[in-house]
Amino acid sequence: MQIALTHGYFLNDDPKELEIMRPYPTLGLLYVSAYLKENGEDVDVIDSTFLSKEAWLTSITEKKPEIIAFYTNLMTKVNIIQLVKKVKEVLPNCILVAGGPDVTYNVENYLKADFDFAISGEGEQTMLELVGALKSKSDISSVQGISYRQGDEVVQNEARTKIREMDTLAMPDRDAVPIEKYLDVWKKHHGKRTLNISTQRGCPYTCKWCSTAVYGKSYRRNSPEKVVEEILHLKEKYGVEALWFVDDVFTVSHKWLTELHTAFKKHNLVIPFECITRAERLNEAVLKQLKEMGCFRIWIGAESGSQRIIDKMDRRVDLATVQQMIVKTQAMGMEAGTFIMVGYPSETHEDIVKTMEHIKASNPSHLTITKAYPIKGTALYEEIKDSIKVFPEWESHTDRDTRIPLAYRDDYYTNAIRYLINGWKANREQSAKFALKSKLAYLLMKWKKKAG
């Protein structure tokens, strides 16, 4: 059977991404593609990133796959539902499969939206077994990790057992996508041919707002030698000059990191990279290792400048440690980025003011701010779901649109974000212009707070 793997992200429809131009291939699909090909299946990856929706549909129509598997997430769900309707018009007998982080807690919705199968959890083994069962027209009830309709009922098979030995997986099938387009964009806009790389699956931490729908609260990792092998391959085959490690907590294991550092030295490997980690998993020795391997930017999450809110999130980190590690990272010649979330349930005006104090104390190189929203299946969602008054229509909205009960009006939080961003810029650049903008946003916050 001819299989197409695809997603629903279109760069030209994303004005924010067009400003920053940091596109990456969808690694999850490329791992599935490599696994299927390794087992003799006929697979195409139709990468939508640089296509229009019309060009995507043309490609699907020309290839006429018998199975199309979509990787879907919060960003792409609405697009994918629209694309599926078009596919059904041109290829009415095509079998449609949904997988990815948005699927696990929305199985019934995906099956109602014309999908024949929904995959929960990791996709490599599940997809291979599903394809095998469809080809042989055998019983699918034993295929772990799938859901499907049986008459008017939704059947959910036994959960998929997670892959323990990560080194058994082939490298992502990067040849299946227009990899040079990604590299050219990065070279043009950021000066280096950059790709993403994954070394870890799962996260052992318990942050209430974070989804673990695919990999679960686990910790599995490629061996350091396998990681170095992949990096050397990327450098030799694609001329890669920099990397983005997509792992949730890159330095979670100091033992693993030390072994990776040793493997880098063994192969005389130094390559610029950025990564994400937690403040308490950093220290001077770890920072030194990262620097020696080529790290130029570390993203260190805080999410709030109020310890009370951090504790409500179950972040299990001390705010003073976050500030200390942001400062130390920059002192060692690396950039430090951080994430802030506003509008978390029970957050007050005073908590947001404390967040500004935290931003000024740590003075990060980069700052990303989002407004909190509950992702279905997370501890945050379970905690507040009974108080959610308006659930958006599923096919045309995402979890970002779920309205949760908060202390203040929406426009209060719009101004809170402006207050924090401009305050950070004022502090970072010693700018009177941004200081004025931050002050104005703060006054508007207070006004909106009173307006209730």
| pLDDT for 249 beyond 70 | yes
Give 397-446 pLDDT, tens digit per residue: 888 888 888 889 899 999 999 999 999 999 999 999 999 999 999 999 99
Classify residue 95: in a domain, yes or no. Answer: yes
Residue with tokens 């990899």: 179
Give the domain extent around 42: 2-156
Give dist(CA 43, CA 1) in Å, integer: 9
- Residue 390, pLDDT > 80, answer no
Residues 6+ apart with CB under 8 A from 366: 297, 299, 335, 336, 337, 338
Confidence of residue 451 (pLDDT cuts 50, 70, 90): low
Closest of 274, 275, 224 to residue 249, by C-alpha: 275
Give the residue from 183, 289, 299, 319 showing the smallest Cα distance to 241. Answer: 183
Domain total of the chain: 1
Structure confidence by residue, pLDDT tens digits, 263-318? 999 999 999 999 999 999 999 999 999 999 999 999 998 899 999 999 999 999 99
User: Per-residue pLDDT tens for 200-209?
Assistant: 999 989 899 8
If you write DSSP's letter for every residue of 40-58 in order, what string do you get?
T-EEEEE--TTS-HHHHHH
Contact 375, 204 (CB under 8 A): no
**% of the chain exceeding 70 in pLDDT:** 100
pLDDT band at 39 (very low <50, low <70, confident <90, very high): very high
Entry pTM: 0.95
In this structure, the strands spanning 67-71 and 2-6 are parallel
- Segment 36-59 shows an average pLDDT of 98
Inter-residue contact 257 to 280 (CB < 8 Å): no
In a 13 Å sphere around the CA of 267, the CA atoms on its Cβ side amount to 20
Mean pLDDT of the chain: 95
- CB-CB contact of 70 with 113 (8 Å): no
pLDDT digits (tens, 9 = 90+) for 149-188: 999 899 999 999 999 999 999 999 999 999 999 999 999 9
* CA 232 – CA 142 distance, rounded (Å): 39
CA separation for the pair 97, 111 (Å, rounded): 9
**Which are the contacts of 162, defined by CB distance < 8 A and separation ≥ 6?**
121, 122, 201, 202, 215, 216, 218, 220
Q: Is 22 a domain residue?
A: yes
Residue 314 lies in a domain: no
Report yes or no on 375 lying in a domain: no
Among candidate residues 292, 190, 301, 198, the one with its CA nearest the CA of residue 244 = 198
**Residue 452 reports pLDDT greater than 70:** no
d(CA 149, CA 81): 18
Within a domain: 276: no
CATH of the domain at 80: 3.40.50.280
The band of 381, judged by pLDDT with boundaries at 50, 70 and 90, is very high
Question: What does the pLDDT average to over 243-269?
Answer: 97
Q: Is residue 444 part of a domain?
A: no
Our measurement of the distance from residue 79's CA atom to the centroid of its chain's CA atoms, rounded to an integer in Å, reads 17
Q: Would you call 183 helix, strand, or coil by DSSP?
A: helix
Q: At what angle do helices 224-238 and 254-266 cross, to 10 degrees?
A: 40
Is residue 25 one of the residues assigned to a domain? yes
307 in any annotated domain? no
450 pLDDT higher than 80: no
The Cα 252–Cα 369 span in angstroms is: 24
The per-residue pLDDT for range 320-365, each reduced to its tens digit, is 999 999 999 999 999 999 999 999 999 999 999 999 999 999 999 9
Sequence-ordered strand ranges (E) for 343-435? 366-371
pLDDT above 90 covers a percentage of the chain that reads 88
C-alpha 168/C-alpha 148 separation (Å) is 29
Q: What residue type is assigned to position 28 of the chain?
A: G
Query: How far, in Å, CA of 374 to CA of 275, rounded?
Result: 25
The single-letter DSSP state of residue 303 is: B
Residue type, 348: T
